Amino acid sequence: MLAIVAPGQGAQTPGFLAPWLELDSFAARLGWLSAVSGLDLAQYGTTSDAETIRDTAVAQPLLVAAGLVTALELFAKPSEAYGRIGVVAGHSVGEITAAAAVGVMSAESAMVLVRERGKAMAEASAVRPTSMSAVIGGDREAVLAAIDSCELTPANNNGSGQIVAAGTVEQLDQLKDALPPRTRLIPLSVAGAFHTVHMEPAVDHLRRLSAAVYTRDPRVRLLSNRDGQVVPSGREYLNRLVDQVASPVRWDLCMQTMADLGVTGLLELQPAGTLTGIAKRNLKGVELFNLNTPGQLDEARTFIANHSDGETPADLTTTPTWRLVVSPGKGSFVRAEGLDEGHRLERGQIIGSVSNLRGSVTVPAEHGGQVVEWLVEQGDPVSPGQPLLRLHPISERGSRTALDAN
């Protein structure tokens, strides 16, 4: 099974787009996304220095555009990707890349959203000096205790050997003296304490804007930074993405879901290296590919072919005559009572729960519908994205516009 992942802020380096602009198709698409975002992305990705592209308002649109346009170069037609990719995820702002790549929102909506995200987070960061530092090594619980003792937030939990602490500059200075044995602290090239309470003003702004973004349900398994779960609803994913600006990134749980799914190959979109580096420590036996230059495209396509099963997951295809409710994660399924064939479900009604060692998660029927067929039995073990229930859509009276369709 193939996983494609998109990196977050801090992955950018000066000039990383230069070789890609030699491709006419890449240059044209980047030019369009530059027009949409109001930023000269080609300049930022080729001639700007490290300090310039460190600016949150620049870095985030640059990363999302780079990831989206690179993904388009991998496939002759975007529809070809859906049958070959098993799971998609993005780290932090990479969630916007991932969402647009699997059809949750258009590329244009993604660029407007990430432009506003970057600006709002930059404004929130300017209120007081804040930053982030990676704690490498050490005992996990001891590291978390040290972070808590300094009133910092474990903003990125990146699995074995790396937890990112975020907060004020003064709090991060205190952490230097509070670190447990066999650890080291690495300051990150970011402009603020992302994924903490310091970003709440940005969340408020994005929540208002996102209400007008038209979404579709993803056609590939799409993982959320909140808890590593498969999210089958485009609207729910967008809401989670907005809230994530001020909430910790659980990349460790995203990788656990990839392991549960049986991922055999992981390809990181440019600028690649950060997420494959983390995967090397946490996803043993998984083949990794860093896509950083256009000269690697043929090799990347071979990598994709070697790790894809060639089939679009039935639960995530476009289905005009029925819908499927899928499992958000791995565990045992417990069915809600009274939901027999023919029963009508309201939007968001709970059909049951999936329980594992991390706890229990309820499963809603996001769009509602009439029960056609149960695809699992009470107590059955289920995997992320596995179909649970087949529903017949129920027509709604009245028409809806793009602004209120979700």
Rounded-to-integer distance, Cα 157 and Cα 151, Å: 16
Of 28, 29, 194, 17, which is closest to residue 95 (Cα–Cα)?
194
| 149 burial via Cβ count (<10 Å: 0-12, 13-18, 19+) | exposed
**Token duo for residue 160:** 């074995």
* Residue of 34, 92, 125, 233 marked catalytic: 92
> One-letter amino acid identity for 222?
L
Check residue 369 and give left, alpha or beta (phi > 0: left; psi -120 to 50: alpha). Answer: left
> One-letter amino acid identity for 402?
A
Decide if 355 is catalytic. no
Please state whether beta strands 265-268 and 287-290 pair in parallel, antiparallel, or not at all (unpaired): parallel
Residue 223 φ/ψ, nearest 5 degrees: -95, 145
Instruction: Provide the b/e sequence for 212-224 (b: ≥16 CB within 10 Å).
Output: ebbbbbbbbbbbb
Decide if 307 is catalytic. no
* Residue of 37, 48, 125, 195 marked catalytic: 195
Of 353, 373, 375, which is closest to residue 363 (Cα–Cα)?
353
Annotated catalytic residues are: 92, 195
